[in-house]
Amino acid sequence: MKIRCTLLAVALLFCFAAATFAEDMPYTPGSVWNLTFVKTKGAGGDDYIKNLAQNWKKVQDEAIKQGLVISYKVLTGDAANRDDWDMLLMVEFKNYAVMDTPEQKWEEIMTKVIGNDTSQKQGNISREEMREILGGKTMREIILK
């Protein structure tokens, strides 16, 4: 019985400490952003943007309708050097947990919006001619207090 009381006291102490720490944070955790860094090839920038509007945008819009995504953005700008990205794709999620949505759910959206596997593969090949993915990041937004 003493061990249980001690464990309960320790657990309560940790909860109190965590709540106190959270109050001392100078920010509130916000949404989670998935970022994709893209380098367009040659004069393919406009074609890639058209492709995004035809396919990627529709997938994101459907994901918003299904509650998987909050918002999305595309930023473009000049690359700093020939190895730099010139386009940033941003997808906003409510939290990290939503990003763990089963792959099957995303496949259903892709099939609904773009078509079968063959159509999706053809689209991927077409995009590879227009751009190179240089990398990606997942970051949490913070709202300063």
Residue 7, pLDDT score: 46
CA 119/CA 14 separation, integer angstroms: 53
Q: Is the pLDDT of residue 8 over 60?
A: no
Amino acid present at 26: P
Query: Predicted confidence band at 140 (pLDDT cuts at 50, 70, 90)?
Result: very high
Rg (the chain; Cα; Å):
21
Which carries the bigger pLDDT value, residue 110 or residue 115?
Answer: 110
CA 127/CA 133 separation, integer angstroms: 10
- Token pair 């061990």 is found at 3
- Which pair of tokens denotes residue 65? 């309708």
26-144 is classed CATH 3.30.70.100: yes
Q: What is the pLDDT of residues 118-137, one digit of tens each?
A: 655 565 567 788 899 999 99
Q: Is the pLDDT of residue 116 over 90?
A: no
Residue 23, pLDDT score: 75
